[in-house]
Amino acid sequence: MPAPDANFSLEVRGSDGWLKLTGNHPAGVQVGDLTLSSNIDFTPPVSPVAIGTGPTAADIWTGASINVGEVYASLADDITNGTHHTPGFSHALHNSRLIARVEQAALTGVRQ
């Protein structure tokens, strides 16, 4: 697929509306900026604090470390403000268990 056409889109639809996560970096969701939208009003996430413009291997990878930069910036903000917003082990455990339940439901046809 040509790089300009490499787009990411994840849409979840439910009985109360939809939620969509989109991005347009040719290297995928882990590299580029993402946009969250919904048909229901919500407070958007804070703007990125890491700009992703460090030394890179190639122009296409400019910003490839933006996710790591975001985590470090969030961690610095937590330390400065005494908050605990940066994702950690408990978030990873929750997401891992959630994915396992979705997989099990897909195999058995039964929601847990």
73-96 pLDDT tens trace: 888 889 999 998 888 888 889 989
What would the pLDDT profile of 2-49 be if each residue is shown by its tens digit?
767 778 888 999 888 999 988 877 766 766 677 889 999 988 776 655
Q: 1 by DSSP, 3-state: which?
A: coil
**Cβ-contact 29, 8 below 8 angstroms:** yes
Q: Tokens standing for 105?
A: 């439901």
Q: Give the lowest-confidence range in 37-46, 55-64, 65-74.
A: 55-64
Calculate ∠ Cα 102-70-18, nearest 5°: 40
DSSP state of 48: P
CA distance 36 to 79: 27
The residue behind tokens 């908050």 is 83
Q: Which tokens in the block code for residue 78?
A: 């937590």
